[in-house]
């Protein structure tokens, strides 16, 4: 039986969801999707990047991820709206619920896209194209936003198919259609090929996916090693990955934040690290896991990046221990240049079995008290909200006490 895989992708998800909410619930007449518009961050807080843009905005060459300042230079009349992540979560959940009515196996790839294994459903529906159009139209009618659906025999080709032409379209990209539909595309359109790889491929004289597909694999391996073999397979439509209904466990936990001001002193920097440690540690404890590796990442006011990491003697999810490790790394890494961005990341994740490997230094640390403290704080915040309890150092501070991730003001709508 030939596999049938759908890739369903919401068109300009954040912006579409904002538009539907404003029209259906707020009664606005202006449709953000019909004018040059974008969902973006807060320029005053220097979180000013484009998160999603409308089709009319694309005509001004506005890209997701570019700064709001750059976007406004390209299109001075660009309408900007702030993000509301609680709204997006609800829209995403409603979207996924519809997909699960049509397939027993749905993999949520991100908040706005998913794979559906439709293999074996041929007797239920007239054809893959027919059911894809039914799903697309039902999402539009019931939820108010549009999607693209790609159909093929594996995940890679289904994803490539869904990107062929937007919005509100259904496309097929079966193995027999690769040469006609995919090989003519720029190599930058191939899944997993980013800007740096595109530039390197161009220097090798490879400009289209078709040229990559017929390139001697030994040449690609010489320049890209194992990655060269992977993109060669992708260019030929080969993909052996399966749809996973369950999300695989995290290999690492991290959060970062762009500060509203340049951090030029140790005290302020470590306050930011404490706020990040609070967020990261809370996530570790929520998932009942421990981290053995702690790393920090900093970006200075000239956008230069640096990072540093260490391995802990004992895996932990205690806020104070992760914070102390981050401070030690910061002292070793920072050279005094003003910073605009800081992050804490953890790795080598293991399950929390409720026991701890003791060492000579544990006798000097109030380990049990720290565990009880974190648990009590987690319970309070879970019941009354993240702001129900905070460290005194953050009172009247411009730094939010649980930095990184999504701030509460961006969740409300």
Are the beta carbons of 396 and 271 closer than 8 angstroms?
no
Q: Which neighbouring-strand residues pair with 148?
A: 9
Alpha-helical segments (H) within 188-246: 195-203, 209-213, 217-224, 226-235
Q: In the annotation, is 266 catalytic?
A: no
Which residue has tokens 């000239």?
302
Q: Which of 66, 101, 107, 113 is catalytic?
A: 113
**C-alpha torsion angle, residues 322, 323, 324, 328 (rounded to 10):** 100
d(CA 275, CA 394): 9
Task: From residue 326, give the alpha-carbon distance in Å to each of 47, 144, 228, 253.
Answer: 23, 45, 36, 14
Q: How far apart are CA 121 and CA 104, in angstroms?
A: 10
Q: Which residues contact 269 (CB under 8 A, 6 or more apart)?
A: 263, 330, 334, 339, 342
Q: How many helices (H) and strands (E) does the chain have?
A: 14, 12
What residues are annotated to the active site?
113
């Amino acid at each position: 039986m030939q596999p049938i895989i759908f890739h369903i992708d919401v068109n300009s998800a954040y912006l579409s969801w904002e538009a539907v909410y404003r029209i259906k619930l707020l009664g606005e007449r202006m449709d953000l999707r019909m004018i040059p518009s974008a969902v973006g961050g807060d320029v005053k807080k220097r979180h000013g990047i484009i998160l999603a843009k409308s089709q009319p905005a694309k005509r001004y060459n506005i890209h997701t991820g570019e700064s709001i300042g750059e976007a406004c230079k390209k299109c001075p009349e660009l309408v900007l709206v702030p993000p509301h992540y609680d709204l997006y979560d609800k829209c995403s959940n409603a979207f996924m619920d519809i997909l699960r009515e049509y397939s027993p196996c749905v993999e949520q790839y991100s908040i706005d896209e998913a794979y559906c294994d439709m293999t074996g459903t041929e007797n239920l529906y007239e054809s893959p194209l027919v059911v894809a159009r039914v799903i697309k139209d039902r999402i539009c009618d019931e939820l108010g936003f549009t999607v693209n659906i790609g159909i093929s025999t594996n995940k890679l080709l289904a994803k490539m198919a869904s990107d062929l032409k937007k919005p509100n379209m259904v496309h097929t990209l079966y193995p027999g259609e690769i040469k006609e539909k995919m090989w003519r595309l720029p190599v930058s359109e191939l899944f997993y090929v980013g800007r740096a790889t595109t530039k390197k491929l161009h220097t090798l004289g490879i400009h289209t996916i078709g040229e990559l597909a017929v390139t001697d694999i030994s040449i690609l391996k010489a320049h890209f090693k194992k990655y060269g073999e992977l993109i060669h397979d992708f260019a030929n439509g080969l993909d052996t990955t399966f749809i996973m209904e369950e999300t695989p466990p995290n290999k690492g936990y991290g959060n970062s934040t762009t500060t509203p001001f340049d951090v030029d002193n140790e005290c302020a920097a470590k306050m930011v690290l404490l706020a990040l440690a609070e967020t990261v540690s809370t996530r570790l404890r929520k998932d009942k896991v421990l981290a053995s590796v702690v790393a920090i990442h900093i970006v200075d006011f000239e956008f230069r990046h640096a990072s540093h990491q260490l391995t802990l003697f004992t895996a932990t999810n205690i806020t104070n221990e992760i914070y102390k490790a981050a401070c030690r790394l910061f002292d070793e890494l920072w050279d005094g240049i003003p910073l605009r961005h800081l992050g804490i990341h953890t790795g080598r994740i293991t399950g929390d079995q409720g026991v701890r490997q003791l060492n000579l230094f544990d006798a000097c640390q109030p380990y049990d008290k720290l565990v009880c403290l974190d648990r009590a704080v987690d319970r309070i915040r879970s019941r009354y909200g993240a702001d129900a309890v905070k460290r005194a150092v953050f009172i009247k501070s411009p730094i939010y006490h649980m930095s990184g991730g999504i701030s509460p003001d961006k969740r409300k709508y």
